[in-house]
Amino acid sequence: MWSAQLSGTGAVARPVGSSVALITPHDDGGTVEFRDAATGAGHATVEVTGEPVATTWHGRPALVAKSVKKTPSDGISPEKTAWLIDAFDEQGRHIAHKEVPGRDEPRIVDGRQIVQEKGKGNSPGALVISDAGGDAPAWRIPCKDYTCADEGATVAAGIVVHRRGGATSTDPDTLTGFDAGTGTVLWGPQNLARPAGATAAADPEVVEQDSGKLVVAWHEGDWGTPQPHTVTYTVNDPATGRLLTTGPKLASSHKSGLASTDGTVLVVATVATTAAWETGTGKLLWQQAEDEKRLAPAAVVGTVLYSENPSVAVDLRTKAVLQGAVADMPRPVGPAHALVVVSGNVYVFAVKQS
């Protein structure tokens, strides 16, 4: 285990892959010190403009900062506003920089910029996907109406998954997978395999993609009908859409999901229950009883699941209570370590593996 003291008001520690980023804010950004999670040795110290956020960039851990750049009027031309995007890998190396014109904050997901482009004439517009750190050609997903309000896209590990709403309120949503760099269609509604027994009206929703596994929740039923509302989980191949594993069928609709650091266990919360299951086999490890306080998954550290409200630590695979009233919530750092901040001090330690 190693420790470090945070210095300055608002200083924080963030996991970035297998590194810990110690961030000391200043007026227009911050100083970021990247340290190895296993040894505490320093990788690099960098200055960033804007608030840095731990995320991913083209499937790899990264720290990304956005800041606003304003160019004043020269007396004739209007003032110009642009956003500066800077990304650093887990070693603190500067891996991307881009200037995006406009006042609206750009949506950047896994190193891809997603823009809702308004249509012209009879065109309803499109979602435009481009490399947020490079000059590769952008590609488009056409919208089906003039608002794109029911269009959505998630990005992880080189795959864009696009959700398109049904034509009517009773039609199911559909999912299509694209290569994030080229826009090539990898699979669509016709070959995204459903779980056995799922009807044509089942509504698919991506609930986990960051771990490299495409986990889909298939919603059945309507709260306005006598039919019970259920959700069945599947693991599908992100490159082909084929079915790899069928997980549990639970009552009610999906609320949130949280994967273990190695992606082998998924904790899911529905409106009615919280449960854990193996993504490799589909085996249900546990499900909460009706009279139990509902766990609110907040972090998985090694073999321990941490919940907020109720604040408690339980065994990931058995639900056995390990500690109640957790005052300082640990966070995973890569597959083998975790960090916790106590009274301005950062403690990084190895965790038990499943």
pLDDT tens, position by position, for the chain (354 residues)? Answer: 899 999 888 899 999 999 999 999 988 889 999 999 999 999 999 999 998 999 999 999 999 999 998 888 887 888 889 999 999 999 999 999 999 998 889 999 999 999 888 777 777 788 999 999 887 889 999 887 655 655 678 898 789 999 887 766 667 888 999 999 999 999 999 999 999 988 888 989 999 888 788 999 999 876 555 556 899 999 999 999 999 999 999 988 888 888 887 889 999 998 889 999 999 999 999 999 989 999 999 999 999 999 998 899 999 999 999 998 898 999 999 989 999 999 999 999 999 776
Match 């109406």 to its residue by tokens: 145
Q: Is 28 exposed, middle or buried (0-12, 13-18, 19+ CB in 10 A)?
A: exposed
- The one-character DSSP state at 338 is E
Distance CA 12, CA 297 (A): 22
Helix or strand run (H / E) with residue 304 = strand 304-307
Enter the tokens of residue 87. Answer: 């990304």
Q: Is 342 exposed, middle or buried (0-12, 13-18, 19+ CB in 10 A)?
A: exposed
Helices and strands in the chain: count of H runs, count of E runs = 0, 32
Enter the tokens of residue 340. Answer: 């916790």
Q: Is 91 exposed, middle or buried (0-12, 13-18, 19+ CB in 10 A)?
A: middle
Match 């690099």 to its residue by tokens: 44
Are 313 and 299 contacting, i.e. CB atoms less than 8 angstroms apart?
A: no
Looking at the DSSP assignment, which residues form a beta bridge with residue 161? Answer: 154, 177
